[in-house]
Structure 1
């Protein structure tokens, strides 16, 4: 049975859960912007652990049961990165396999650049080359990239949701479900599954509205794109062919600038936590490097 644990990290309390044996190589899951550890599915974590990893997932500050801050709190992307490192310190983990999604992928890149001795392997999911969410990599003069081009797939953009009262449970759950669907694809879970996830997220969160504002203000930290060539850890890039937040130029740029990085396209996946339909591929890719 998995039990939540609170640990003091960098002057705050961080909530975490672990799966598997402490003697196995550690793997740290780093969630996206304003996202708690709930976004990493329980069964997905168990399967990673069954593959011989000591899996750690945690709530970013301001999410889940970790320390919450009032709206407008001043912390930075560097603080979010240091929370991840501080958590590894608290667990007595000198280095780990890092798996980061979106903002979590940007934090993982920064760790690999600034603290390379803490990284065994690097897996970057649905993220960009150390840039902010509205930035597009400069590709002028870039030569051909040795990766498979995603097939042409029709993309239907769902209408964006209006302003959401994140303090109201029903409204927040509906807003989260609409948001996930707007970023997803044909494999995104159905509404009942999404509602269960959204309810869990809401019920474990102190203030969704404040968390979303504070993480947006914190940002990704100073760009590290020009330093990514120094990354020595084996790097895997997993990217959905339907990701509209970070279109194909973003993972291609990551594959170009990180030495030896391998880009794997997830067919029919949007900007989302990898859905169950592609778990087989995702798990085999993540667990591949020993």
Structure 2
């Protein structure tokens, strides 16, 4: 079922939920500049076998309000949007799964609104904490010295985006996924081409959004609150991750007490078909634990 919810004055968010209406809610939070349609249907359906799965378009993506230039907002306000989605759909508490920027937003929810979460799953993100990473040999590494974004990703992100028409924009996005996917799984360009065409059809235009990259990213540190967090948390480790490569997942699992760390073989910073089943298994295994499913 699709519907819109009001998140703030002048801001409406597109939402969709699948699965039994009386099943335990599971909210999917996508990454920066990514529509909720970036969560592949096949993965959503695997999760919907056990949950009422909710996905939505961030502001300035998909069918939600595009108005950053008129009403700029900080990144942290997007976490409030996630709560607005739950409120608008009548959900008191939910399992929450966040990818990339969605993982940052999920950490904000873990820290600031733990009463709204049954569990959290963090994918392809870094810790909102200044606590050092402690290596197995006891060496303490400040977060700022952990491995950074791969040069090939930074180079792609530095390129200006020209409007050369819808098909050229699809191909640009496909190459983006090729780089984000890492180098351990075969890349299926046609799969991502079909995904992006569906996203463009859903959105109604092929404009490349830039709002989240321009939004204020201050005020995100949650070192103390994450260190005392009580939300059952799963951290997904992706060995081919080019944005937040290992040991970022290990650091994140250290930052949030009691976290479980699960590696998805071959995974990078993308959701190709090869990772759908193992990722769904990991998430469903987690949501069937503390907090209930």
Shorter-chain TM-score range: 0.7 to 0.9
Q: Which 10-residue stretch deviates more, 178-187 or 162-171?
A: 162-171
1:165 and 1:60 mapped to 2: Cα distance? 23
Within 5 Å, give how 1:233-244 maps onto structure 2.
233-244=231-242
Matched, 1:144 2:143: no
* Alignment partner, residue 111 of structure 1: 109
Task: Give ranges in structure 2 of 5+ residues lacking alignment.
Answer: 139-149, 289-293
1:8 and 1:108 mapped to 2: Cα distance? 20
* Alignment partner, residue 36 of structure 1: 35
In structure 2, which of residues 189, 213, 226 is the aligned counterpart of residue 216 of structure 1?
213
Structure 1 residue 183: deviation in Å?
1.1
What is the root-mean-square deviation in Å for CA atoms of aligned residues? 2.6
TM-superposition CA deviations, 1:58-91 (whole Å, max 9, x none): 0001100001125475111122111110110011
Within 5 Å, give how 1:141-290 maps onto structure 2.
142-144=134-136, 160-161=155-156, 162-166=159-163, 168-185=165-182, 186-187=184-185, 189-205=187-203, 211-212=209-210, 214-218=211-215, 220-222=217-219, 223-273=221-271, 275-288=272-285, 289-290=287-288
Q: 1:43 to 1:196 in 2, by over 3 A?
A: same
TM-superposition CA deviations, 1:169-211 (whole Å, max 9, x none): 1221111111110111343651111111112222333676563
TM-superposition CA deviations, 1:20-56 (whole Å, max 9, x none): 1121110000000010011101121111111x21100
* Alignment partner, residue 141 of structure 2: none
Mapped contact 2:16–2:56 kept (Cα < 8 A): yes
Structure 1 residue 156: deviation in Å?
11
* Alignment partner, residue 22 of structure 2: 23
TM (normalized to structure 1)? 0.85
2:131 and 2:247 mapped to 1: Cα distance? 9
Structure 1 residue 107: deviation in Å?
0.1
1:116 and 1:255 mapped to 2: Cα distance? 17
2:95 and 2:46 mapped to 1: Cα distance? 15
Structure 1 residue 168: deviation in Å?
2.7
TM (normalized to structure 2)? 0.84
Mapped contact 1:35–1:60 kept (Cα < 8 A): yes
Task: Give ranges in structure 1 of 5+ residues lacking alignment.
Answer: 132-136, 147-154
* Alignment partner, residue 54 of structure 1: 52
Q: Which 10-residue stretch deviates more, 7-16 or 200-209?
A: 200-209
1:113 and 1:285 mapped to 2: Cα distance? 23
Q: 1:250 to 1:208 in 2, by over 3 A?
A: farther
TM-superposition CA deviations, 1:94-148 (whole Å, max 9, x none): 11000000000000000110011001000000111027xxxxx7647x25399xx
* Alignment partner, residue 130 of structure 1: 128
1:167 and 1:78 mapped to 2: Cα distance? 33
TM-superposition CA deviations, 1:197-252 (whole Å, max 9, x none): 1122223336765632x101225542223421121111100121011210212111
What is the number of equivalent residue pairs in this alignment?
A: 271
